Amino acid sequence: MGGYKLFRKDRQGRRGGGVALYVRESLDSVELEVSNNKVECLWIRIKGKANKADILVGVCYRPPNHDDEGDELSYKQLVDVSKLPALVLAGDFNLPDICWELNTAEKWQSRRFLECIEDNFLLQLVPQGEAVLLEPHEELAICKYYEKRLLDFCAVFKPAMPRSVVGTACMYFKRFYLNNSVMEYHPRIIMLTCAFLACKVDEFNVSSAQFVGNLRESPLGQEKALEQILEYELLLIQQLNFHLIVHNPYRPFEGFLIDLKTRYPMLENPEVLRKTADDFLSRVALTDAYLLFAPSQIALTAILSSGSRAGINMESYLSESLMLKENRSTLSRLLDDMKCMKNLIKKYELPRAEEVAGLKQKLEKCHALELALNTNLKKRKGYEDDEYVAKKSRMDEVSKPFVQEEWTDDDLVDSALP
Protein backbone atom coordinates (compact mmCIF):
# COMPACT_ATOMS: atom_id res chain seq x y z
CA MET A 1 0.00 0.00 0.00
CA GLY A 2 1.57 3.26 -1.11
CA GLY A 3 2.62 5.68 1.62
CA TYR A 4 2.45 3.04 4.37
CA LYS A 5 4.91 0.72 6.06
CA LEU A 6 3.79 -2.87 6.58
CA PHE A 7 4.49 -4.77 9.81
CA ARG A 8 3.42 -8.43 9.85
CA LYS A 9 3.70 -11.56 11.92
CA ASP A 10 2.70 -14.70 10.03
CA ARG A 11 1.25 -17.73 11.76
CA GLN A 12 3.86 -20.42 12.28
CA GLY A 13 3.44 -24.03 11.16
CA ARG A 14 0.60 -23.53 8.70
CA ARG A 15 -0.40 -21.57 5.64
CA GLY A 16 -2.47 -18.42 6.19
CA GLY A 17 -3.23 -16.57 9.39
CA GLY A 18 -1.27 -14.05 11.41
CA VAL A 19 -1.57 -10.36 12.17
CA ALA A 20 -0.45 -7.22 10.33
CA LEU A 21 -0.45 -3.45 10.75
CA TYR A 22 -0.01 -0.63 8.22
CA VAL A 23 1.61 2.57 9.56
CA ARG A 24 2.04 5.81 7.64
CA GLU A 25 5.59 6.26 6.38
CA SER A 26 5.59 9.82 7.76
CA LEU A 27 5.40 8.34 11.28
CA ASP A 28 8.55 7.12 13.00
CA SER A 29 7.66 3.54 13.90
CA VAL A 30 9.57 0.43 15.00
CA GLU A 31 8.55 -3.13 15.87
CA LEU A 32 9.23 -4.37 19.40
CA GLU A 33 10.91 -7.73 19.68
CA VAL A 34 9.16 -10.20 22.00
CA SER A 35 10.52 -13.48 23.29
CA ASN A 36 7.36 -15.59 22.95
CA ASN A 37 6.43 -16.36 19.35
CA LYS A 38 3.55 -18.67 20.25
CA VAL A 39 1.25 -15.70 20.78
CA GLU A 40 -0.19 -14.00 17.69
CA CYS A 41 0.58 -10.45 18.76
CA LEU A 42 2.40 -7.64 16.97
CA TRP A 43 3.71 -4.65 18.90
CA ILE A 44 4.65 -1.38 17.16
CA ARG A 45 6.06 1.69 18.87
CA ILE A 46 5.15 4.99 17.16
CA LYS A 47 7.17 8.05 18.11
CA GLY A 48 4.98 10.97 19.21
CA LYS A 49 4.98 14.21 17.21
CA ALA A 50 5.86 17.55 18.82
CA ASN A 51 4.97 17.37 22.51
CA LYS A 52 3.01 14.11 22.19
CA ALA A 53 4.14 10.95 23.98
CA ASP A 54 5.13 7.78 22.13
CA ILE A 55 2.30 5.32 21.45
CA LEU A 56 2.48 1.55 21.61
CA VAL A 57 0.06 -0.17 19.21
CA GLY A 58 -0.68 -3.85 19.68
CA VAL A 59 -2.51 -6.06 17.17
CA CYS A 60 -3.53 -9.45 18.54
CA TYR A 61 -5.52 -12.49 17.49
CA ARG A 62 -6.89 -14.97 19.98
CA PRO A 63 -8.24 -18.18 18.40
CA PRO A 64 -11.68 -19.31 19.59
CA ASN A 65 -10.20 -22.55 20.94
CA HIS A 66 -7.36 -20.88 22.85
CA ASP A 67 -6.53 -22.75 26.06
CA ASP A 68 -5.82 -21.18 29.46
CA GLU A 69 -2.06 -21.56 29.05
CA GLY A 70 -2.12 -19.64 25.78
CA ASP A 71 -4.23 -16.89 27.35
CA GLU A 72 -1.80 -16.48 30.24
CA LEU A 73 1.12 -16.22 27.82
CA SER A 74 -0.74 -13.43 26.00
CA TYR A 75 -1.47 -11.56 29.24
CA LYS A 76 2.15 -11.88 30.38
CA GLN A 77 3.35 -10.49 27.06
CA LEU A 78 0.95 -7.54 27.44
CA VAL A 79 2.40 -6.77 30.87
CA ASP A 80 5.97 -7.06 29.57
CA VAL A 81 5.55 -4.64 26.66
CA SER A 82 3.16 -2.09 28.19
CA LYS A 83 5.75 0.24 29.67
CA LEU A 84 4.56 3.33 27.79
CA PRO A 85 1.72 5.44 29.22
CA ALA A 86 -0.04 5.41 25.82
CA LEU A 87 -1.17 1.97 24.68
CA VAL A 88 -3.69 1.07 21.97
CA LEU A 89 -4.68 -2.59 21.74
CA ALA A 90 -6.72 -3.87 18.79
CA GLY A 91 -7.58 -7.23 17.32
CA ASP A 92 -9.97 -10.16 17.44
CA PHE A 93 -10.15 -11.84 20.86
CA ASN A 94 -13.14 -14.12 20.12
CA LEU A 95 -14.85 -13.42 23.44
CA PRO A 96 -18.37 -12.55 22.31
CA ASP A 97 -20.00 -12.95 25.72
CA ILE A 98 -18.34 -9.80 27.12
CA CYS A 99 -20.73 -6.92 27.85
CA TRP A 100 -18.59 -3.80 27.56
CA GLU A 101 -21.29 -1.51 28.92
CA LEU A 102 -21.42 -3.37 32.24
CA ASN A 103 -17.89 -4.78 32.01
CA THR A 104 -19.17 -8.29 32.74
CA ALA A 105 -18.94 -11.73 31.09
CA GLU A 106 -20.41 -15.19 31.51
CA LYS A 107 -17.42 -17.44 30.78
CA TRP A 108 -14.37 -17.71 32.98
CA GLN A 109 -11.91 -17.00 30.14
CA SER A 110 -13.77 -13.78 29.30
CA ARG A 111 -13.76 -12.69 32.94
CA ARG A 112 -10.02 -13.38 33.11
CA PHE A 113 -9.54 -11.18 30.01
CA LEU A 114 -11.50 -8.35 31.66
CA GLU A 115 -9.35 -8.75 34.77
CA CYS A 116 -6.18 -8.38 32.66
CA ILE A 117 -7.62 -5.29 30.96
CA GLU A 118 -8.35 -3.70 34.33
CA ASP A 119 -4.95 -4.65 35.80
CA ASN A 120 -3.22 -2.86 32.92
CA PHE A 121 -5.50 0.21 33.15
CA LEU A 122 -6.93 -0.30 29.68
CA LEU A 123 -10.29 1.02 28.55
CA GLN A 124 -12.68 -0.09 25.80
CA LEU A 125 -12.95 2.98 23.55
CA VAL A 126 -15.04 1.82 20.62
CA PRO A 127 -18.74 1.31 21.48
CA GLN A 128 -20.21 -1.85 20.03
CA GLY A 129 -21.89 -1.37 16.66
CA GLU A 130 -21.00 2.33 16.40
CA ALA A 131 -18.37 3.91 14.17
CA VAL A 132 -16.60 6.82 15.85
CA LEU A 133 -13.91 7.62 13.29
CA LEU A 134 -14.47 10.16 10.53
CA GLU A 135 -14.09 9.19 6.90
CA PRO A 136 -11.72 11.32 4.75
CA HIS A 137 -14.62 13.12 3.04
CA GLU A 138 -16.14 13.83 6.46
CA GLU A 139 -12.88 15.32 7.70
CA LEU A 140 -12.80 17.53 4.60
CA ALA A 141 -16.36 18.71 5.30
CA ILE A 142 -15.44 19.55 8.90
CA CYS A 143 -12.37 21.48 7.73
CA LYS A 144 -14.49 23.46 5.26
CA TYR A 145 -17.00 24.31 7.98
CA TYR A 146 -14.39 25.54 10.46
CA GLU A 147 -12.44 27.40 7.80
CA LYS A 148 -15.63 29.34 7.06
CA ARG A 149 -16.09 29.92 10.80
CA LEU A 150 -12.53 31.25 10.92
CA LEU A 151 -13.25 33.78 8.16
CA ASP A 152 -16.53 34.78 9.84
CA PHE A 153 -14.77 35.23 13.17
CA CYS A 154 -12.13 37.45 11.55
CA ALA A 155 -14.80 39.45 9.67
CA VAL A 156 -16.49 40.65 12.87
CA PHE A 157 -13.31 40.90 14.95
CA LYS A 158 -12.91 44.11 16.94
CA PRO A 159 -10.79 46.06 16.26
CA ALA A 160 -11.14 45.42 12.52
CA MET A 161 -8.66 42.80 11.36
CA PRO A 162 -6.54 43.61 8.25
CA ARG A 163 -7.08 41.34 5.27
CA SER A 164 -3.45 40.23 5.34
CA VAL A 165 -3.96 38.82 8.85
CA VAL A 166 -7.10 36.98 7.72
CA GLY A 167 -5.25 35.50 4.74
CA THR A 168 -2.35 34.40 6.94
CA ALA A 169 -4.67 32.75 9.47
CA CYS A 170 -6.51 30.95 6.67
CA MET A 171 -3.25 29.65 5.20
CA TYR A 172 -2.05 28.45 8.61
CA PHE A 173 -5.28 26.49 9.03
CA LYS A 174 -4.98 24.86 5.60
CA ARG A 175 -1.32 23.94 6.09
CA PHE A 176 -1.88 22.53 9.58
CA TYR A 177 -4.51 20.04 8.41
CA LEU A 178 -2.43 18.90 5.46
CA ASN A 179 -0.54 16.72 7.94
CA ASN A 180 -2.91 16.47 10.91
CA SER A 181 -6.37 15.10 11.56
CA VAL A 182 -9.38 16.88 13.04
CA MET A 183 -9.81 13.75 15.17
CA GLU A 184 -6.46 14.43 16.83
CA TYR A 185 -6.62 18.24 17.09
CA HIS A 186 -10.04 19.84 17.31
CA PRO A 187 -10.39 22.51 14.60
CA ARG A 188 -12.29 24.81 16.95
CA ILE A 189 -9.18 25.57 19.02
CA ILE A 190 -6.79 25.29 16.05
CA MET A 191 -8.68 27.95 14.07
CA LEU A 192 -8.47 30.42 16.95
CA THR A 193 -4.80 29.61 17.48
CA CYS A 194 -4.21 30.30 13.77
CA ALA A 195 -5.90 33.70 14.06
CA PHE A 196 -4.00 34.51 17.28
CA LEU A 197 -0.62 33.62 15.75
CA ALA A 198 -1.42 35.49 12.52
CA CYS A 199 -2.05 38.66 14.53
CA LYS A 200 1.45 38.39 15.99
CA VAL A 201 3.25 37.52 12.76
CA ASP A 202 1.57 40.28 10.74
CA GLU A 203 2.10 42.77 13.60
CA PHE A 204 -1.60 43.42 14.20
CA ASN A 205 -1.17 44.49 17.79
CA VAL A 206 -4.02 43.23 19.95
CA SER A 207 -3.61 42.02 23.49
CA SER A 208 -4.55 38.48 24.46
CA ALA A 209 -7.42 39.92 26.51
CA GLN A 210 -8.72 41.81 23.46
CA PHE A 211 -8.47 38.68 21.34
CA VAL A 212 -10.48 36.37 23.62
CA GLY A 213 -12.85 39.27 24.29
CA ASN A 214 -14.25 38.51 20.83
CA LEU A 215 -15.53 35.20 22.22
CA ARG A 216 -19.06 35.29 23.56
CA GLU A 217 -18.07 33.83 26.89
CA SER A 218 -17.76 34.62 30.59
CA PRO A 219 -14.42 35.99 31.83
CA LEU A 220 -13.59 32.57 33.24
CA GLY A 221 -14.45 30.92 29.93
CA GLN A 222 -12.31 33.45 28.04
CA GLU A 223 -9.44 32.69 30.37
CA LYS A 224 -9.85 28.98 29.68
CA ALA A 225 -9.92 29.63 25.90
CA LEU A 226 -6.73 31.71 26.11
CA GLU A 227 -5.07 28.95 28.11
CA GLN A 228 -5.87 26.47 25.33
CA ILE A 229 -4.70 28.86 22.59
CA LEU A 230 -1.35 29.39 24.29
CA GLU A 231 -1.02 25.66 24.84
CA TYR A 232 -1.46 24.93 21.12
CA GLU A 233 0.51 27.90 19.79
CA LEU A 234 3.90 26.19 19.88
CA LEU A 235 2.42 23.03 18.37
CA LEU A 236 1.01 25.07 15.49
CA ILE A 237 4.39 26.75 14.89
CA GLN A 238 6.12 23.37 14.87
CA GLN A 239 3.59 21.84 12.48
CA LEU A 240 4.12 24.80 10.14
CA ASN A 241 7.85 23.96 10.21
CA PHE A 242 8.49 27.48 11.55
CA HIS A 243 7.62 28.94 8.12
CA LEU A 244 5.39 31.72 9.40
CA ILE A 245 5.66 34.41 6.72
CA VAL A 246 2.73 34.16 4.31
CA HIS A 247 2.57 36.13 1.06
CA ASN A 248 -1.07 37.02 0.43
CA PRO A 249 -2.59 38.18 -2.89
CA TYR A 250 -3.77 41.50 -1.41
CA ARG A 251 -0.52 43.41 -1.87
CA PRO A 252 -0.02 42.36 -5.53
CA PHE A 253 -3.71 43.15 -6.08
CA GLU A 254 -3.10 46.75 -5.00
CA GLY A 255 0.00 46.77 -7.19
CA PHE A 256 -1.99 45.73 -10.25
CA LEU A 257 -4.55 48.46 -9.59
CA ILE A 258 -1.76 51.06 -9.44
CA ASP A 259 -0.28 49.64 -12.64
CA LEU A 260 -3.65 49.87 -14.38
CA LYS A 261 -4.01 53.49 -13.33
CA THR A 262 -0.56 54.47 -14.58
CA ARG A 263 0.07 52.25 -17.62
CA TYR A 264 -3.31 51.20 -18.98
CA PRO A 265 -5.20 54.27 -20.21
CA MET A 266 -7.84 52.11 -21.91
CA LEU A 267 -9.46 51.68 -18.49
CA GLU A 268 -10.54 55.08 -17.19
CA ASN A 269 -11.28 54.09 -13.59
CA PRO A 270 -9.68 50.83 -12.41
CA GLU A 271 -11.36 51.25 -9.01
CA VAL A 272 -14.59 49.95 -10.54
CA LEU A 273 -12.92 46.52 -10.44
CA ARG A 274 -12.23 46.57 -6.71
CA LYS A 275 -15.54 45.39 -5.26
CA THR A 276 -15.98 42.38 -7.54
CA ALA A 277 -12.29 41.51 -7.25
CA ASP A 278 -12.52 41.61 -3.44
CA ASP A 279 -15.43 39.20 -3.65
CA PHE A 280 -13.34 36.90 -5.86
CA LEU A 281 -10.45 36.96 -3.35
CA SER A 282 -12.81 36.14 -0.48
CA ARG A 283 -14.29 33.19 -2.34
CA VAL A 284 -10.99 31.83 -3.63
CA ALA A 285 -9.61 31.89 -0.06
CA LEU A 286 -11.96 29.02 0.80
CA THR A 287 -10.53 26.81 -1.95
CA ASP A 288 -7.07 25.25 -2.25
CA ALA A 289 -5.89 27.99 -4.64
CA TYR A 290 -3.65 29.53 -1.96
CA LEU A 291 -1.75 26.22 -1.84
CA LEU A 292 -1.51 25.82 -5.62
CA PHE A 293 -0.84 29.25 -7.13
CA ALA A 294 1.40 32.25 -6.50
CA PRO A 295 -0.20 35.30 -4.83
CA SER A 296 0.40 37.43 -7.93
CA GLN A 297 -1.42 34.87 -10.10
CA ILE A 298 -4.41 34.93 -7.75
CA ALA A 299 -4.44 38.74 -7.70
CA LEU A 300 -4.23 39.00 -11.49
CA THR A 301 -7.04 36.46 -11.87
CA ALA A 302 -9.18 38.54 -9.51
CA ILE A 303 -8.55 41.64 -11.65
CA LEU A 304 -9.34 39.93 -14.95
CA SER A 305 -12.36 38.11 -13.53
CA SER A 306 -13.74 41.39 -12.25
CA GLY A 307 -13.17 43.01 -15.64
CA SER A 308 -14.88 40.12 -17.40
CA ARG A 309 -17.95 40.41 -15.18
CA ALA A 310 -18.07 44.15 -15.89
CA GLY A 311 -17.86 43.50 -19.65
CA ILE A 312 -14.33 44.90 -19.94
CA ASN A 313 -11.93 43.12 -22.27
CA MET A 314 -8.45 43.28 -20.75
CA GLU A 315 -6.54 40.96 -23.08
CA SER A 316 -4.46 43.89 -24.29
CA TYR A 317 -3.29 44.46 -20.71
CA LEU A 318 -1.81 40.97 -20.65
CA SER A 319 -0.25 41.16 -24.10
CA GLU A 320 0.94 44.78 -24.13
CA SER A 321 1.36 46.07 -20.57
CA LEU A 322 2.63 42.77 -19.14
CA MET A 323 4.58 42.06 -22.35
CA LEU A 324 3.25 38.56 -22.86
CA LYS A 325 2.44 39.00 -26.55
CA GLU A 326 5.67 37.39 -27.70
CA ASN A 327 5.71 34.72 -24.99
CA ARG A 328 2.77 32.59 -26.02
CA SER A 329 3.67 29.58 -23.84
CA THR A 330 3.75 31.69 -20.65
CA LEU A 331 0.50 33.40 -21.61
CA SER A 332 -1.13 30.04 -22.30
CA ARG A 333 -0.04 28.64 -18.91
CA LEU A 334 -1.26 31.77 -17.18
CA LEU A 335 -4.68 31.53 -18.81
CA ASP A 336 -4.91 27.83 -17.92
CA ASP A 337 -4.12 28.62 -14.27
CA MET A 338 -6.77 31.32 -14.24
CA LYS A 339 -9.30 28.89 -15.64
CA CYS A 340 -8.34 26.36 -12.98
CA MET A 341 -8.89 28.93 -10.21
CA LYS A 342 -12.31 29.80 -11.55
CA ASN A 343 -13.20 26.11 -11.65
CA LEU A 344 -12.10 25.69 -8.04
CA ILE A 345 -14.50 28.45 -7.03
CA LYS A 346 -17.28 27.06 -9.20
CA LYS A 347 -16.97 23.54 -7.75
CA TYR A 348 -16.54 24.62 -4.14
CA GLU A 349 -19.50 23.81 -1.92
CA LEU A 350 -19.91 24.34 1.79
CA PRO A 351 -21.34 21.33 3.64
CA ARG A 352 -25.05 21.50 4.44
CA ALA A 353 -26.10 22.54 7.95
CA GLU A 354 -27.71 19.18 8.74
CA GLU A 355 -24.59 17.36 7.53
CA VAL A 356 -22.37 19.54 9.71
CA ALA A 357 -24.55 18.94 12.76
CA GLY A 358 -24.16 15.17 12.43
CA LEU A 359 -20.42 15.38 11.77
CA LYS A 360 -19.87 17.66 14.75
CA GLN A 361 -21.59 15.14 17.01
CA LYS A 362 -19.36 12.42 15.60
CA LEU A 363 -16.28 14.60 16.07
CA GLU A 364 -17.20 15.33 19.68
CA LYS A 365 -17.46 11.58 20.30
CA CYS A 366 -13.95 11.15 18.91
CA HIS A 367 -12.61 13.74 21.30
CA ALA A 368 -14.66 12.38 24.18
CA LEU A 369 -12.92 9.06 23.60
CA GLU A 370 -9.57 10.87 23.53
CA LEU A 371 -10.45 12.50 26.85
CA ALA A 372 -11.32 9.10 28.28
CA LEU A 373 -8.03 7.74 26.93
CA ASN A 374 -6.07 10.61 28.46
CA THR A 375 -7.78 10.00 31.79
CA ASN A 376 -6.83 6.35 31.54
CA LEU A 377 -3.25 7.30 30.62
CA LYS A 378 -3.04 9.26 33.85
CA LYS A 379 -4.11 6.14 35.70
CA ARG A 380 -1.40 4.17 33.91
CA LYS A 381 1.14 6.87 34.67
CA GLY A 382 0.01 6.97 38.29
CA TYR A 383 0.57 3.23 38.49
CA GLU A 384 4.22 3.84 37.64
CA ASP A 385 4.70 7.25 39.26
CA ASP A 386 4.04 7.39 42.99
CA GLU A 387 4.54 11.16 43.02
CA TYR A 388 1.63 11.58 40.61
CA VAL A 389 -0.59 9.40 42.81
CA ALA A 390 0.28 11.46 45.85
CA LYS A 391 -0.70 14.72 44.13
CA LYS A 392 -3.70 13.36 42.23
CA SER A 393 -6.45 14.23 44.68
CA ARG A 394 -5.19 17.78 45.15
CA MET A 395 -4.94 18.35 41.39
CA ASP A 396 -8.48 17.06 40.94
CA GLU A 397 -9.75 19.53 43.51
CA VAL A 398 -8.02 22.43 41.78
CA SER A 399 -9.35 21.49 38.35
CA LYS A 400 -12.97 20.81 39.34
CA PRO A 401 -14.24 24.40 38.99
CA PHE A 402 -13.11 24.42 35.35
CA VAL A 403 -14.87 21.25 34.27
CA GLN A 404 -18.08 23.01 33.30
CA GLU A 405 -16.30 25.98 31.70
CA GLU A 406 -15.29 24.21 28.46
CA TRP A 407 -16.26 26.52 25.59
CA THR A 408 -17.88 25.37 22.37
CA ASP A 409 -18.71 26.65 18.89
CA ASP A 410 -21.61 28.63 20.34
CA ASP A 411 -19.15 30.81 22.27
CA LEU A 412 -17.68 32.26 19.06
CA VAL A 413 -19.01 35.67 18.11
CA ASP A 414 -21.45 35.03 15.28
CA SER A 415 -21.01 36.69 11.94
CA ALA A 416 -23.66 38.91 10.42
CA LEU A 417 -23.74 36.44 7.56
CA PRO A 418 -26.55 33.83 7.58
Burial class (CB in 10 A: 0-12, 13-18, 19+), 65: exposed
Please give the pLDDT value at position 96. Answer: 83
* pLDDT tens by residue, 11-26: 776 666 788 999 988 8
* pLDDT tens by residue, 281-329: 999 999 999 999 999 999 999 998 898 888 888 877 877 777 777 777 8
* The one-letter amino acid at 201: V
H-run or E-run covering 358:
helix 353-384
For the chain, the residue count is 418
DSSP 319: I
User: What is the Cα–Cα distance from 323 to 166, expressed in whole angstroms?
Assistant: 33
Percent of the chain whose pLDDT exceeds 90 = 33
Confidence class for position 55, pLDDT limits 50, 70, 90: confident
pLDDT top residue among 257 and 122: 257
Q: How big is the CA angle at 322 (ends 317 and 323), to the nearest 5 degrees?
A: 110
- Listed residue (376, 377, 369, 409) closest to 184, CA to CA: 369
User: Mean pLDDT, to the nearest integer, of 103-108?
Assistant: 83
Please give the pLDDT value at position 362. Answer: 83
Secondary structure class of 45 (helix, strand, coil): strand
Confidence class for position 127, pLDDT limits 50, 70, 90: low
> Going by C-beta distance under 8 Å and a sequence separation of 6 or more, which residues neighbour residue 160?
none
> Where is average pLDDT lowest: 103-117, 139-153, 322-336?
322-336
* pLDDT tens by residue, 319-368: 777 777 777 788 888 889 889 999 999 999 999 988 988 888 888 877 76
Percent of the chain whose pLDDT exceeds 70 = 83
Confidence class for position 402, pLDDT limits 50, 70, 90: very low
Confidence class for position 108, pLDDT limits 50, 70, 90: confident
Highest averaged pLDDT of the listed ranges 122-126, 356-360, 389-393: 356-360
> Going by C-beta distance under 8 Å and a sequence separation of 6 or more, which residues neighbour residue 49?
27, 239
pLDDT top residue among 364 and 385: 364
